[in-house]
Amino acid sequence: MTKYVSNFFLLSALLILTSCLDDDSSQIIDNTPSIFEIISNSDDHNTLEQLLIDTNLDTALSSGVYTVFAPTDEAFAEIDLNTLTNEEAVQLLLNHVLSGSAENTDFTNGYVSTAASESFTGNENIINMYINVDGGITLNGVSSVTLENINASNGVVHVVDAVIPIPDITTFVTADSRFNTLGEALTRDDQPDFVGTLSSFNNPAPFTVFAPTNDAFVDLLEELELTELSEIDASTLTQTLNTHVIAGEILREESLTLGTVNTLGDDFELDPSINVITDLNGRDINIIITNVQAGNGVIHVIDQVILPQLQ
């Protein structure tokens, strides 16, 4: 009898132990640090850590899933943080944050949406970032990823070597190689200070810019029977470039209306239902990409150069 009782208690103990083990195995403990914990545990990100605390973004980065480009202390040493208001600091930090988790292999050349927003319309429009992956990951042409894919419990951290400022219109013209010729035109020696104007956040900002691609300029030169951009006379080029700029308004795709559009140069006609511009010479231009949002305006990409009235 004693033998059977002992076996009974032994079996009961094993069943209880097995049950406990089963319960414990269902509770997976994840020791992966959060995005903020990765930053706060880094010896190279003290400035970023303090900025996140000061702006209460440390709490925000603890909920939700994000991709964060984290500038080092050395990167922050290159800018004067004392000139920023709290709201400007918040937007600067959010300009380093993408929604969702993205590792280096998830990036391609093109535009992504940050968590920052422009202020001209009351923080309604989310600011874009241009990512270039040719020979490494470059952000807006000013900051490079130096350490990739630090996995967090709620996303991914990539270390970068420079702070990414809120982009202006010229940021994207410079960063996106599809606008190389446009950049050459804007900076030609015989032209006004287009870069100074289009990089400003003061009056006459904000801007809506219709940006021709490199191929658009190739077609223009062929149409005008020219071989180089330098062959376009200064006044014609100035008037042409001005005809691509609307000052004082951010007109995103959803805000474009049918009819005459007034620019800093000549007017043109717009049919937003088919994304077609008709210039004063009867030439049709297609809008091929819309709503590339900068901090001081928006860019719509076009496939032909808009010409002023030709004599």
Q: Is residue 3 part of a domain?
A: no
Q: Is residue 7 part of a domain?
A: no
Q: What is the pLDDT along the chain (311 residues), one digit of tens a residue?
A: 444 344 444 444 444 434 444 444 555 556 899 999 999 999 999 999 999 999 999 998 888 999 999 999 999 999 999 999 999 999 999 999 999 999 999 999 999 999 999 999 986 899 999 999 999 999 999 999 999 999 999 999 999 999 999 999 999 999 999 999 999 999 999 999 999 999 999 999 999 999 999 999 999 999 999 999 999 999 999 999 999 999 999 999 999 999 999 999 999 999 999 999 999 999 999 999 999 999 999 999 999 999 999 86
Q: Which of 103, 129, 160 is the last residue of a domain?
A: 160
Q: Is residue 139 part of a domain?
A: yes
Instruction: Find the domain containing 106 and state its range.
Output: 35-160
Q: Which of 92, 126, 160 is the last residue of a domain?
A: 160
Pair 268, 306: CB distance under 8 Å: yes
DSSP labels for 189-231?
TTS--HHHHHT-SSTT--EEEEEE-HHHHHHHHHHTT-SSGGG
Q: Which two tokens stand for residue 285?
A: 């231009």
Same domain, yes or no, for 39 and 124?
yes
pLDDT of residue 8: 42
Same domain, yes or no, for 177 and 215?
yes
Q: Where are the alpha helices (DSSP H) in the chain?
A: 2-25, 35-40, 46-54, 57-60, 73-76, 86-94, 169-175, 180-186, 194-198, 214-223, 234-242
Same domain, yes or no, for 156 and 199?
no
Q: Which of 116, 141, 160 is the last residue of a domain?
A: 160
pLDDT of residue 310: 83
Same domain, yes or no, for 143 and 237?
no
pLDDT of residue 16: 42
pLDDT of residue 124: 80
pLDDT of residue 62: 83
Same domain, yes or no, for 152 and 175?
no
**pTM assigned to the model:** 0.89
pLDDT of residue 30: 63
